[in-house]
Structure 1
């Protein structure tokens, strides 16, 4: 079970942290956000590919999770629950965006220029960018399975729950994803892939805190 550190030198299990938040210590929700920001960002980038869209969906995910935290039945891990909310939010956003046929030159140029910001230059080294591009080319299901299993290190069972697919499907999708990726790239996968910069992490957390008015 995940534990959250840094709060008065104590460690809290997910169950304890959720109980504290529900009982009125709302500000502790920040620890949940900071604990799962990187995972949700990677999932979002696997579906939507644009930082600004992913940030919006992360915020939506946390707002929905906070609103329904007292309804969370701990039959699965908190991370799995958040992952499923994030995936649903991203797929809905993707569906909405497909109503517009103009994600061609304009959106392409915008996304390319975003990759050239100083933040991106510092974070994404040449190899990291090549790896991200290779992962983006995978079909969506293979891409999501690969990110959850190989980068986020979720178990086969938790990956299946998050994506609503069977264990055998998870294994087959991961195998196909690996085949489709060049072998010499796989060994370099790590923290540079869809890396969430501290400033973006703070931005999402602060936005949600302000929305929920739990800063005190």
Structure 2
């Protein structure tokens, strides 16, 4: 999102924006979309779990919201109202997808075999390397307990016997190992990087909706 768009979106309240749009300044709907695109994308992705589907959901939700704007009475926040429209559309798409997948699964049940794509293999390999590297950062006494209990599936009693440790010691070391792993893995990502929605994708959504609604932006 460009700095100019961000300033405008923050400077004008939702109520002011919607009122002006309803009074004929329809081009301002672009500001509404740019303000909420990242939020809408992340919420939709959390439901449909598909990049293209999430963008389709957003477009439909924006179009439906625009057409329903005259019925918006400001009894709740616009953010809440818009998000509900998005969630309803996301759940509807997910329901359709599940139904379709069920039909396909049932029809192909006798011939179904999971084949890993090159991309799946690459992602699995990279994730495996990240996890292995994180485990290697653990101090040996914690790493040994973690490998025995979580990787090898050894029982607490077996781990106690091998390492000559008491039960409480094994449990404490395992808990500490998990805590340290979480801290280490946190270094590989930032919350804002999850389902990131950049300017180019923002423009695609905005332009599609504006054209579909016949609004000049």
Band the TM-score falls in, shorter-chain normalisation: 0.5 to 0.7
> 1:11 offset after TM fit, Å?
2.1
Whole-Å Cα distance in 2 between the matches of residues 23 and 49 of structure 1? 37
Q: Deviations over 1:59-112 (max 9, x none)?
A: 011001100112112122111111111110000001111222248889x859x5
Equivalent pairs, count: 148
Whole-Å Cα distance in 2 between the matches of residues 105 and 53 of structure 1? 25
Root-mean-square deviation over aligned CA pairs:
3.4
Asked if 2 retains the 8 angstrom alpha-carbon contact of 1:5 and 1:12, the reply is no
Partner of 1:99: 99
Gaps of 5+ in 1: 117-125, 131-181
> 1:186 offset after TM fit, Å?
5.9
Partner of 2:18: 18
Whole-Å Cα distance in 2 between the matches of residues 201 and 88 of structure 1? 21
Relative to 1, partners in 2 of residues 1:105 and 1:50: Cα closer, same or farther, differing over 3 Å? farther
Partner of 2:86: 86
Asked if 1 retains the 8 angstrom alpha-carbon contact of 2:6 and 2:35, the reply is no
Normalized per residue, the structure richer in helix is 2
Indicate the SS of the match to 2:11: strand
Partner of 1:155: none
Residue 192 of structure 2 is aligned to residue 191 of structure 1: yes
Relative to 1, partners in 2 of residues 1:12 and 1:105: Cα closer, same or farther, differing over 3 Å? farther
Relative to 1, partners in 2 of residues 1:79 and 1:212: Cα closer, same or farther, differing over 3 Å? same
Question: TM (normalized to structure 1)?
Answer: 0.59
Normalized per residue, the structure richer in strand is 1
Residue 200 of structure 2 is aligned to residue 211 of structure 1: no
Whole-Å Cα distance in 2 between the matches of residues 105 and 197 of structure 1? 36
